[in-house]
């Protein structure tokens, strides 16, 4: 209660580029993480964006849609996630590895803690598609977590956030499946460069859990 909870069934990963969650709840007040850990604080100031904003994995929490409801086009592979998101922005069922938009449709793209839920074997295609539908000079804003590689011990990787938007503060909890390698900022930077992006900014937070903000630009 009081957080957005996102659960993951690792057996359902294959063939899906975005698989987010099964339970969402909007908090009334700030609460500690269930296991007593401190929450990672993420501050998202209002950012300038021209025209439509493509939000990859924007179901359930709808963080970017909450900020800019008149501009956001949120895509998610899960109809359930889109239905659970706030209703005041455009939502479309779509696979991030197979975007149904024309080249250069968007000037701004976002991904708020959604890349970590996309199968790594699809990440290359997802970055290529994000590059394709972005206009020259456009930017992709990414907020995500560092997910350690799988270990012999069972269990995923948990992270708890307190996200401060210009008009509200919301909290989420995530449980993320681990894969054969660590998914960190450098991993995504390498994918971005391989797709043709330039890195405009990279900010990393190391405590209490590792998160990062990455801004990419299309030349």
> How does pLDDT run across 166-202, given as a tens digit for each residue?
999 998 887 778 787 889 999 999 999 999 999 999 9
Q: What's residue 88's pLDDT?
A: 92
Mean pLDDT, 10 residues at a time, the chain of 219 residues: 27 36 33 68 94 95 94 96 92 97 98 94 98 98 90 73 93 80 94 98 85 97
Whole-angstrom Cα distance, residue 30 to residue 136? 40
User: What pLDDT does 206 receive?
Assistant: 81
In angstroms, the Cα distances linking 121 to 65, 76, 117, 128 are: 27, 18, 12, 13
CATH number for the domain that contains residue 157: 3.40.50.150
Count up the domains in the chain and report the number.
1
User: Where in the sequence is the domain holding 16, given as residue range(s)?
Assistant: 4-217
**Distance between alpha carbon 35 and the CA centroid of its chain, in Å?**
23
Cα angle, residue 218 at apex, residues 214 and 219 outer, rounded to 5°? 130
At 26 the pLDDT is 31
The strand pair at 72-76 and 198-205 is best described as unpaired
* Helix residue spans in the chain (DSSP H): 63-67, 79-84, 120-132, 185-195
Q: What is the pLDDT of residue 61?
A: 83
The span from the CA of 45 to the CA of 48, in Å, is 10
| Phi, psi (deg, nearest 5) at residue 167 | -115, -5
């Amino acid at each position: 209660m009081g957080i957005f909870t996102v659960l993951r069934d690792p057996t359902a990963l294959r063939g899906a580029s975005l698989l987010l969650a099964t339970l969402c709840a909007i908090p009334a007040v700030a609460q500690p993480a269930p296991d007593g850990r401190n929450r990672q604080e993420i501050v998202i100031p209002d950012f300038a964006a021209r025209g439509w904003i493509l939000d990859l994995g924007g179901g359930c929490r709808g963080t970017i849609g909450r900020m800019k409801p008149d501009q956001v086009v949120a895509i998610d592979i899960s109809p359930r996630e889109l239905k659970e998101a706030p209703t005041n922005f455009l939502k479309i069922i779509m696979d991030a590895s197979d975007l149904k938009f024309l080249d250069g449709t968007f000037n701004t793209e976002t991904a708020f803690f959604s890349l970590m839920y996309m199968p790594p074997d699809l990440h290359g295609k997802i970055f290529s598609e994000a590059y394709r539908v972005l206009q020259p000079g456009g930017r992709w804003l990414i907020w995500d977590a560092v997910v350690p590689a799988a270990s012999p011990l069972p269990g995923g990787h948990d992270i708890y956030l307190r996200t401060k938007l210009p008009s509200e503060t919301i909290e989420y909890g995530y449980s993320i499946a681990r894969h054969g390698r660590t998914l960190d900022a450098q991993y995504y930077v390498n994918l971005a460069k391989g797709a043709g992006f330039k890195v405009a900014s990279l900010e990393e937070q190391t405590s209490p859990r590792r998160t990062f903000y990455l801004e990419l630009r299309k030349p």
